[in-house]
Every structure is written in C-alpha cells, then in structure tokens.
Amino acid sequence: MPDLFRGRSPLRCLLGCLFALMTGLAMAKQAVPSAANPELEARVLSIAEELRCLVCQNETIAASHADLAVDLRKQIAVKLEAGQSKQEILDFMVSRYGDFVLYRPEFNARTLLLWVGPFVLLVVAVGVLTVNIRRRRAAASTEWTADNAQRARALLSEGDDRL
C-alpha cells in the first residue's frame, strides 16, 4: 500500500474526496438570462456588444462573465424597459465610466490618446531599439590594425605547436 494512505482509513479518504467534490459544485454558477423577453435580450446584447468590460478590458460586456458585466447588462435591460434609446444608454455609460467603456470609441480630442497611443509607443520602442543596436555595433567595431593581425598570427601559431 502506498505511503499516502498509510495510517488513514478508507472512509476518511472517501469523505475527504466527497467534501472536495461538493465544494466545487457549490461554487458553480448557473447561467441566467438577463431578460425574460427574447426581444429585449437581443436588444440588450446588441448594446452590450458596443461596451467594454471594465474588469476584463479585452472583452465586450456581452461576452464577459465578470460580475460587473452582468450588472451592466441588467442595468441596460432596466433602461430599455424604461423606454430609453440605445444612444441614451451609451451616453449614460460614457458619462459614468468615461470613453474607455466604449469598445470602439469615437475619434475626438478626448479619445486621441486611446487611438494614437499604441502607435506612439510602437514608434518609441522602434527608436529605442534602433539606438541600442547602433550603440552596440559602434562599440563592437574596432579597427583591425597590423598589431592586431600580428597578435592573431602569434596566437594561431601557438595553437599549431601544441598539436
């Protein structure tokens, strides 16, 4: 019998495994639609596709399972039921969370950094890389003088003597 089970009763091991299984099942969440009306659900998802999940940041709130995304989808459904238009809901989200909440923000003075920032960082990175490569090449390149050639011949001839 392996050392793992030595001194432990099989019942104790079975109860431990059962407890671990039950804990995992208790933490699983059931997917619940955010709206009972399929038409409303479709409208909610169409608006949610245009909003960025503030937790995940690389997903729309329609695709995200984060608690904040679920809450925002519910809030969109409540606002749609209250008769607000898609643009009114998007304007509310922007006023509350800023332009970053839009998955595809408009190009204007406030969102200039969102649109141009990655390209500026890329240009800066290429510039830094170019400068570093040039510095290394300049440091590595030394003039080949007659003195260097004579020392190289001497080192090579010493190697021949050993063989």
Q: Are 101 and 52 in contact (CB under 8 A)?
A: yes
102-137 pLDDT, tens digit each: 888 888 887 788 788 999 999 999 999 999 999 888
The two structure tokens encoding residue 62: 């329609």
Q: What is the pLDDT of residue 1?
A: 45
Q: Are 79 and 88 in contact (CB under 8 A)?
A: yes
Does residue 51 sit in helix, strand or coil? strand
> Whose CA is closest to 54, among 14, 102, 16?
102
The two structure tokens encoding residue 83: 């008769």
Does residue 72 sit in helix, strand or coil? helix
Q: What is the pLDDT of residue 6?
A: 59
Confidence of residue 26 (pLDDT cuts 50, 70, 90): low
The two structure tokens encoding residue 45: 């998802």
The mean pLDDT value of the chain amounts to 81
- CB burial of residue 112 (10 Å; 0-12, 13-18, 19+): exposed
| Distance of alpha carbon 137 from alpha carbon 105, whole angstroms | 43
